[in-house]
């Protein structure tokens, strides 16, 4: 097993480099880089100033299309290119970037003037709060519900719960968030929960128990909106997995030997049926923590990693884009390895090392 773990860790290196290289090429080919963003702002400010001074806003406009013909000094452009590292060939920039990233040096944001790692640390508590509570809520409800549906397959309970979770899956999370705001955040009916942020303005002055209540009070609506679309997939996956195991021969043999239903279900079926559910945990964690909360963060004014990544893409803030991508990919690869090791922990009969050899 140690040799298998070492091989997987070594395999992460070319995988990570390949992912970064592909995205680097895509981003380089996209129009409107960070220098263009800055020049566009510069032109806008200059045009506005000219308008106020009676110049009609034509100072930077001419028949030419080059940056110089629009009144922007070439020396200023070259200074920006040197500052952002665009005076080097693309392959050198990529090699330098990966060398820095190997030591977790992600540089500074082009537009925020802060280290990328500091920006991520600032936003991380929001994403962790949404991700952990959403994952916990989904698993605590979906797995017992899926087991109960499998045991009562075809019953009225199975039918109406399937309808409920499918409707929940069909409703987009952001639409459900708006519905929660209208109903419970002072929209049109009850004003029971806060609309913005994870804490109240006077959070620092509250007692320990008061801080806990205030925090939980604030996350009720965002977590509910984030979790609504995740129940159906995990519930039906759990149900189908348990149904498949319940009808296997070893279950019939255990019943013939007089084993109790609880012993069969939780001593034999549960371990085998949960394998496929564990396989989907890494991707679920990545999706909930980093990519699935963008609209929820916007609606509830939560400054998390999802919003940070979106803003970085729109602004072409390359250090933030590639820094977050590097960490997301690395965490995803590590969680995939953890998932495989959890397979072995749950069922020792699984041996990935022997299969690879």
Could you please report the per-residue DSSP string of 105-158?
---B-TTT-SBHHHHHHHHHHHHHHHHHHHHHHHHHHHHHHHHHHHHTTTSHHH
The number of distinct structural domains making up the chain is 2
The Cα 169–Cα 164 span in angstroms is 9
Whether residue 323 sits in one domain with residue 275: yes
With beta carbons less than 8 A apart as the criterion, state whether 253 and 325 touch.
no
pLDDT for 111? 78
Q: Is residue 289 part of a domain?
A: yes
Mean predicted lDDT score pLDDT of the chain: 78
**Is residue 60's pLDDT more than 50?**
no
pLDDT for 43? 63
Q: Is residue 93 part of a domain?
A: yes
Whether residue 52 sits in one domain with residue 95: yes
Domain boundary among 49, 76, 103: 103
Whether residue 149 sits in one domain with residue 90: no
Whether residue 94 sits in one domain with residue 135: no
Q: Is residue 280 part of a domain?
A: yes
Q: Is residue 11 part of a domain?
A: no
Whether residue 131 sits in one domain with residue 93: no
Name the CA radius of gyration of the chain, rounded: 27
State in Å, rounded, how far the first CA of the chain is from the last one: 11
Structural domain range at position 97:
35-103
Whether residue 176 sits in one domain with residue 257: yes
Share of the chain above pLDDT 70, in %: 80
Q: Which tokens in the block code for residue 200?
A: 């109240």
Whether residue 307 sits in one domain with residue 160: yes
Whether residue 191 sits in one domain with residue 300: yes
Residues 6+ apart with CB under 8 A from 17: 98
Q: Which tokens in the block code for residue 312?
A: 């970085």
Could you please report the per-residue DSSP string of 255-300?
HHTT--HHHHIIIIIHHHHHHHHHHTHHHHHHIIIIITTHHHHHHT
Q: Give the predicted TM-score (pTM) of the model.
A: 0.71
Q: Is residue 279 part of a domain?
A: yes
Element (H, E) at 201: none
Whether residue 295 sits in one domain with residue 160: yes
Q: For the domain that residue 176 is a member of, what is the CATH number?
A: 1.10.3720.10
pLDDT for 18? 93
Domain boundary among 103, 131, 147: 103
Burial class (CB within 10 angstroms; exposed 0-12, middle 13-18, buried 19+) of 166: middle
Whether residue 65 sits in one domain with residue 130: no
Whether residue 293 sits in one domain with residue 218: yes
Whether residue 274 sits in one domain with residue 199: yes
Stretch 31-52: mean pLDDT, rounded? Answer: 61
pLDDT for 192? 84
Q: What are phi and psi of 94, to 5 degrees?
A: -70, -40
Domain boundary among 103, 138, 156: 103
């Amino acid at each position: 097993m140690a040799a298998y773990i070492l091989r997987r860790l070594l395999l992460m290196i070319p995988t990570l480099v390949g992912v970064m290289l592909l995205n680097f090429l895509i981003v380089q080919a996209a129009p409107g880089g960070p220098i263009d963003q800055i020049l566009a702002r510069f032109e806008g400010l200059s045009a506005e100033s000219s308008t106020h001074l009676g110049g009609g806003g034509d100072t930077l406009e001419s028949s030419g299309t080059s940056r110089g013909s629009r009144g922007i000094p070439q020396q200023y452009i070259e200074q920006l290119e040197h500052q952002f590292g665009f005076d080097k060939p693309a392959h050198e920039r990529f090699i330098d970037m990966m060398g820095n990233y190997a030591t977790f040096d992600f540089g500074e944001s082009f537009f925020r003037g802060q280290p990328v790692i500091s920006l991520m640390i600032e936003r991380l508590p929001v994403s962790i709060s949404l991700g952990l509570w959403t994952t916990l809520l989904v698993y605590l409800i979906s797995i017992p519900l899926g087991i109960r549906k499998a045991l009562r397959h075809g019953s009225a309970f199975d039918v109406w719960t399937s309808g409920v979770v499918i409707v929940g899956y069909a409703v987009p999370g952001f639409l459900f968030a708006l519905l929660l705001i209208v109903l419970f955040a002072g929209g049109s009916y009850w004003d029971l929960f806060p609309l913005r942020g994870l804490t109240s303005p006077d959070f620092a002055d509250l007692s320990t128990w008061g801080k806990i209540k205030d925090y939980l009070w604030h996350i009720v609506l965002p977590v509910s909106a984030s979790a609504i679309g995740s129940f159906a997939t995990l519930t039906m996956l759990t149900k189908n997995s348990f149904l498949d195991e319940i009808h296997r021969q070893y279950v019939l043999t255990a019943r013939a030997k007089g084993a109790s239903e609880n012993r069969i279900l939780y001593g034999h079926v549960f371990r085998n049926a949960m394998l496929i559910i564990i396989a989907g945990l890494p991707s679920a964690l990545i999706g909930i923590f980093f990519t699935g909360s963008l609209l929820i963060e916007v609606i509830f004014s939560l400054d998390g990693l999802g919003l940070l990544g979106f803003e970085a893409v729109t602004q072409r803030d390359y250090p933030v884009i590639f820094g977050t991508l590097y960490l997301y990919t690395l965490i995803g690869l590590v969680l995939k390895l953890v998932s495989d090791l959890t397979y072995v922990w749950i069922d020792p009969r699984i041996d990935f090392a022997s299969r690879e050899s």
